[in-house]
Chain A
Amino acid sequence: AQSVAQPEDQVNVAEGNPLTVKCTYSVSGNPYLFWYVQYPNRGLQFLLKYITGDNLVKGSYGFEAEFNKSQTSFHLKKPSALVSDSALYFCAVRDINYGQNFVFGPGTRLSVLP
């Protein structure tokens, strides 16, 4: 069965500094990986996904993620953090061999300090 781990409950970074939110996964087949962001009192919003191809995936709001098959990781990154990036971030994996189900990580709360 597939699983997703986000080893950090909380990440703090100063505005203007680069940020990384970590994600590792476990799947039996090809990994289809996603990042979502949740702002207070809102639903989850899609940021980016990795299906195949380039290991560096670019997404919304200047975010990107790096797929590393050997380390089974899919870390979310942004070169320069904004205070408005403060939110809850979820990594997810979709295994189409398991009925199209998505499995989400526990979430990482990002705080960008001014």
Chain B
Amino acid sequence: DAGVIQSPRHEVTEMGQEVTLRCKPISGHNSLFWYRQTMMRGLELLIYFNNNVPIDDSGMPEDRFSAKMPNASFSTLKIQPSEPRDSAVYFCASSSDSGVEELFFGEGSRLTVL
């Protein structure tokens, strides 16, 4: 099993640029989560999907952030335009709804906005 796959692992961009982070969940998992981790705020839930439908996006900071899940095997998190305060590690995680299953995390995408 390949696990949750995120790309890119590292991204350095300039303020105002568009950033797209990608995630491939574990096959068969029907819940997908995007988290952001910073030293100041810790681990924050941004949005999560169930069966490709966004269920809770209350953690999305503002309109500059958007997330999509066009199918069960792919999700994107987009920031447009990016700002230095968006610098963080962004994690994607997936889980199954059969029973009470744990979350499986990707290795994260480290974003630096200059």
Contacts and interface: CB of A to CB of B under 8 A. Distances in A.
Interface string A48-80: 010100000000000000000000000000000
A99 interface: yes
Interface string B48-73: 10100001100000000000000000
25 contacts: A32-B100, A34-B103, A36-B103, A41-B108, A42-B107, A43-B4, A43-B91, A43-B107, A44-B91, A46-B102, A46-B103, A46-B104, A49-B100, A49-B102, A51-B99, A94-B100, A99-B48, A100-B31, A100-B48, A100-B55, A102-B33, A103-B45, A106-B42, A106-B43, A107-B43
Given A43-B107, A44-B91, A49-B100, A90 B43 contact: yes
Interface of A: 32, 34, 36, 41-46, 49, 51, 90, 92, 94, 96, 99-104, 106-107
